């Protein structure tokens, strides 16, 4: 993604000549630097020619990578203004900070909230489209370590002078916080039933900007502030989860980092662990299994002796997912066994957090099936998938669709093509009822696995049924 300046970027052309870097050479260096940060970039000599001759300005992290690539060749730092990119979009840094100071944490979160809606108003995907591909798992290192060292701030009381619509000082009370929690609960239900891309779910970023941001910038006592930060953290994590489900990985990462910082201000260690578990699932989904293990273990470590049995079970389950993606069958099996053991210890009267309401044995079985899918153990996949699908529910439609795809893969790997296609058809029907890029990606993966059987009538039928779904996400 690029935007156009007026005329050629003579500064960039001059510095490239000075450094002795060809267009192809710069493209290769930028792509390599991006890969080191976990980015997938595909610039070529034509891309660089457009930057120089037409003044196209690459967005996202690219301007900084260009400066770094040229600086490496020259042996000195190269500022953006020297290469004509000083006015490049500063958005790559927004939402990635994990400030030590509470006041700075409020500014960091509210800045992200404002940026998201501004991007949406700009149209065509807004700021998140310009940041496409900028997810970097290394950005989670500092937030995780700082949270582990200090999981709670000493005080969050705030005195400020913002005003509400009547012109009176904005004093935040517990009733304001309850509204945020109710909004988060409603959004969780819509997300589970209709997917992160449903229009009702997309109202969460607006709620953060319109409702949460003014409250965070208001005045409140320490006890109200703790509760406010907790509610804002839940809503921010949910915004990240919805972005993750719709394929906006870069947006999800920023929301997660801010949610973790807000959970620290709330002194809510289990909630912080939940955010870390969400980070772990994203890292695992993106193929960073080892980093996913680290994040899941960070969630578990601070919650030993503090969180409920059900909560600890979920953290261990997330760890198992990461071990499986990393290909460590022994570690994955141990984590699954521990997760099941903790789940068996849970009791109806336990003080489980409200955000854990989705987690039951059905969810455990579904994730266990995905672990064994990654470990290429179809018999185990079938066993756990049957348990996961034993109680279909309209409350968790997306989850049901994902389980059907996993079941189809297991049937295929067991040599049962008809059964695989049958489950695939059911999965496509569910996927068509929700707005979830993640579910669509699961369906695409199934169709890819079925390519060797492309002429089989059942496969042809499945592909035709999936065509409208795939066209809407093209």
Mind listing the pLDDT tens digit of every residue in the chain (474 residues)? 455 555 789 899 999 999 999 999 999 999 887 776 556 788 999 999 999 998 888 866 778 788 888 988 887 767 777 888 866 555 557 888 999 999 999 999 998 998 754 444 333 344 544 444 467 888 899 999 999 999 899 999 998 765 555 556 588 999 999 999 998 888 888 777 666 555 445 678 888 988 999 999 999 999 999 999 999 999 999 999 988 888 888 889 999 999 999 999 999 999 999 999 999 999 999 999 999 999 999 999 999 999 999 999 999 999 999 999 999 999 999 999 999 999 999 998 899 999 998 899 989 999 999 999 999 998 999 899 888 887 666 667 878 888 888 888 888 888 899 988 999 998 898 888 777 888 888 899 889 999 999 889 999 999 998 888 877 654
DSSP line for 187-221: HHHHHHHH-TTSTTTTHHHHHIIIIIHHHHTSBB-
pLDDT digits (tens, 9 = 90+) for 156-180: 999 876 555 555 658 899 999 999 9
Buried b (16+ CB within 10 A) or exposed e, 343-353: beebeeeeebb
Q: Say what the pTM is.
A: 0.77
Please name the residue ranges forming H helices in 54-140. 62-74, 102-122, 126-130
CA distance 101 to 265: 10
Paired tokens of 96 = 């990635």
Cα–Cα distance for residue pair 313/300, rounded to 1 Å: 9
CA distances from 346 to 86, 144, 300, 340, 387 (A): 56, 27, 16, 10, 19
Which of 264, 318, 268 shows the shortest CA–CA distance to 145?
264
56 forms beta bridges with: 4
- pLDDT one-digit tens code per residue, 71-98: 888 877 677 778 888 665 555 578 889 9
DSSP letters, 226-262, are HHHHHHHHHHHHHHHHHHHHTT-HHHHHHHHHHHHHH
The span from the CA of 135 to the CA of 178, in Å, is: 33
As a whole number of angstroms, the distance between CA 76 and CA 398 comes to 51
Would you put residue 62 in left (φ > 0), alpha (ψ -120 to 50) or beta? alpha
Contact 428, 443 (CB under 8 A): yes
Structure tokens that stand for 438 in this block? 């993640």
**For residue 318, how many other CB atoms are within 10 A of its CB?**
29
């Amino acid at each position: 993604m690029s935007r156009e300046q007026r005329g050629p970027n003579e500064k960039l052309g001059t510095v490239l000549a000075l450094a002795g870097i060809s267009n192809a050479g710069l493209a290769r260096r930028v792509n390599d630097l991006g890969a080191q940060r976990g980015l997938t970039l595909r610039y070529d000599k034509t891309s660089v020619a457009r930057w120089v001759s037409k003044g196209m300005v690459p967005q996202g992290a690219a301007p900084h990578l260009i400066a770094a690539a040229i600086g490496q060749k020259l042996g000195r730092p190269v500022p953006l203004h020297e290469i004509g990119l000083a006015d490049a979009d500063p958005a790559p840094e927004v939402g990635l900070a994990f400030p030590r100071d509470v006041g700075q944490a409020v500014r960091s979160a509210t800045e992200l909230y404002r940026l998201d809606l501004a991007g949406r108003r700009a149209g065509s995907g807004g700021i998140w489209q310009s940041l496409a591909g900028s997810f970097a798992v290394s950005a989670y290192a500092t937030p995780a370590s700082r949270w582990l060292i200090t999981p709670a701030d000493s005080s969050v009381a705030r005195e400020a002078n913002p005003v509400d619509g009547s012109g009176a000082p904005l004093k935040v009370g517990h009733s304001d916080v309850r509204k945020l929690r109710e909004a988060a609960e409603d959004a969780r239900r819509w997300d589970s039933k209709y997917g992160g891309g449903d229009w009702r779910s997309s109202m969460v970023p607006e709620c953060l900007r319109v409702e949460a941001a003014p409250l965070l910038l208001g005045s409140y006592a320490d006890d109200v502030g703790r509760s406010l930060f907790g509610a804002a953290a839940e809503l921010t994590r949910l915004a990240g989860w919805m972005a993750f489900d719709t394929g906006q990985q870069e947006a999800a990462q920023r929301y997660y980092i801010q949610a973790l910082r807000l959970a620290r201000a709330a002194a809510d260690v289990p909630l912080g662990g939940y955010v870390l578990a969400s980070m772990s699932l994203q890292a695992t989904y993106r193929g960073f299994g080892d980093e996913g293990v680290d994040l899941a273990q960070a969630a578990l470590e601070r919650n030993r002796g503090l969180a409920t049995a059900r909560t600890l079970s979920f953290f261990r389950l997330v760890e198992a997912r990461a071990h499986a993606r990393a290909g460590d069958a022994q570690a994955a099996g141990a984590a699954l066994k521990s997760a099941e053991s903790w789940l068996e210890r849970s009791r109806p009267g336990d003080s489980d957090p409200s955000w854990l309401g989705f987690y039951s044995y059905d969810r455990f079985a579904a994730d266990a099936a995905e672990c064994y899918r990654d470990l290429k153990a179809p018999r185990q996949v079938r066993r756990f998938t049957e348990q996961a699908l034993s109680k279909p529910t309209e409350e968790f439609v997306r989850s049901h669709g994902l389980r059907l795809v996993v079941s189809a893969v297991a049937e295929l790997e067991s040599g049962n093509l008809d059964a695989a296609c049958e489950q695939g058809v059911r999965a496509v029907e569910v996927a068509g009822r929700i707005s979830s890029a993640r579910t669509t990606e699961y369906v695409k993966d199934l169709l890819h696995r079925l390519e060797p059987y492309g002429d089989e009538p059942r496969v042809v039928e499945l592909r035709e049924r999936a065509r409208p779904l795939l066209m809407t996400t093209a």
